[in-house]
Amino acid sequence: MKTITVQTLFGAETMTVPRRPIKFRQIKAIMETLEVREEVAAYLQADRRYSSPEQVAQIFSFLHNEAKEHFFTVHLDGKNRILCLDLVSVGSLNQSIVHPREVFKTSLSTSAASLLLVHNLCGAQHKLCNVELRVM
């Protein structure tokens, strides 16, 4: 126990308060460095125009082997050239949660003229899915 003196409107008062330890917590930052082992320019040319779904499917063909669902936005300029690739969400085995705010947040900062939304379906789901989706 510790005795302290506190000044109040009515004068000094003496109080006894229990001692308690102060706990400090330290948050450690974790950083992961990714190393790209292949030349990005080999399959993403800066001046290439993308005008068909097949061209985009070719770029994202690596997603066929992924175990988790991924949702990308591809930001295009007025001439359909890629400005930015944004990985919006990495989901689980059978779902990827995407909020419209996250989709449009980076597109405003890059001043994209148009967006391509790219999403992979894991496992055998892509064979069962032949539905045309509409964005509401």
Looking at per-residue confidence, does 56 or 31 come out higher? Answer: 56
Is 16 part of any domain? no
Is 7 part of any domain? no
Q: Which helix (H) or strand (E) holds 16?
A: strand 11-17
Is 65 part of any domain? yes
What is the domain count for the chain? 1
pLDDT of residue 79: 92
pLDDT in tens, 62-107: 888 888 888 888 889 999 998 888 888 888 777 778 888 888 888 8
pLDDT band at 16 (very low <50, low <70, confident <90, very high): confident
Is 112 part of any domain? yes
Q: Dig out the tokens for 27 from the structure.
A: 């948050």
Domain of 63, CATH number, reads 3.40.140.10
Is 11 part of any domain? no
pLDDT in tens, 22-50: 666 666 655 555 555 666 656 677 678 88
Provide the β-strand partners of residue 2. 17
Q: pTM score, two decimals? A: 0.59
* Full residue range of the structural domain in which residue 124 is found: 48-136
